[in-house]
Copies of this chain bind each other. A is one copy, B any other.
Amino acid sequence: MSSTITENQITDTQAYCQQLADKAYAASRSLSGVASQQRIDALNAIATRIEASAEFLKSENAKDLAAGEANGLSSAMLDRLKIDDTRIASIAGSVREIASQTDPLGQIIEGRVLPNGLKLSKVRVPLGVVLIIFESRPNVTSDAAVLCIKSGNATILRGGKEAIHSNNALAQCVRGGLEDAGINPDVVQLVQTTDRAAVGALLKMDNRIDLAIPRGGKSLIKAVVEQAHIPVIKHYTGNCHVYVDNVCDEQMAIDICINAKTQRTGVCNATETILLHKDVVASGLGKKICDALIAKGVEIRGDASIAKLNDKIKAATPQDWDEEYLDMIVAMKTVDSLADAATHINDHGSRHTDAIVTNDVNHADQFVQSVDTANTFVNCSTRFSDGGEYGLGAEIGISTDKLHARGPMGAADLTTYKWVIYGNGQVRG
Cβ of A403 within 8 Å of any chain B Cβ, yes or no, is yes
Cβ of A305 within 8 Å of any chain B Cβ, yes or no, is no
CB <8 Å contact, A421 and B32: no
CB <8 Å contact, A380 and B426: yes
Q: Which of B210, B391, B419, B429 contacts A390 (CB 8 A)?
A: B419
CB <8 Å contact, A420 and B263: no
CB <8 Å contact, A380 and B418: no
Give the residues in chain B near A252, CB-CB below 8 Å.
Answer: 424-425
CB <8 Å contact, B407 and A419: yes
Bound-state CA distance A11–B256 (Å) is 52
Report A339 CB to chain B, min CB distance, Å. 10
Stretch from A78-86, A143-151, A323-331, A367-375 at the B interface? A367-375
Query: What sequence of 0s and 1s flags, for each residue 14-31 of chain A, a beta carbon within 8 Å of any chain B beta carbon?
Result: 000000000000000100
Report A32 CB to chain B, min CB distance, Å. 5
Q: Which of B128, B249, B407, B426 contacts A384 (CB 8 A)?
A: B426
Cβ of A46 within 8 Å of any chain B Cβ, yes or no, is no
The A201-220 residues at the B interface (CB cut-off 8 A) are 210-211
Report A233 CB to chain B, min CB distance, Å. 8
Cβ of A127 within 8 Å of any chain B Cβ, yes or no, is yes
Tell me if A's interface is mostly helix, strand, loop or mixed.
mixed
Cβ of A178 within 8 Å of any chain B Cβ, yes or no, is no
- Residue on B with the closest CB to A259? B427
Give the residues in chain B near A128, CB-CB below 8 Å.
Answer: 372, 402
Bound-state CA distance A125–B252 (Å) is 29
Query: What sequence of 0s and 1s flags, for each residue 89-118 of chain A, a beta carbon within 8 Å of any chain B beta carbon?
Result: 000000000000000000000001010001
Cβ of A158 within 8 Å of any chain B Cβ, yes or no, is no
- 27 A–B contact pairs at CB < 8 A? A29-B346, A33-B369, A118-B384, A120-B391, A211-B403, A231-B402, A231-B403, A252-B424, A252-B425, A258-B427, A260-B427, A368-B418, A368-B420, A374-B418, A375-B419, A378-B420, A379-B423, A380-B421, A380-B424, A380-B425, A381-B427, A381-B428, A390-B419, A402-B416, A406-B419, A407-B418, A408-B419
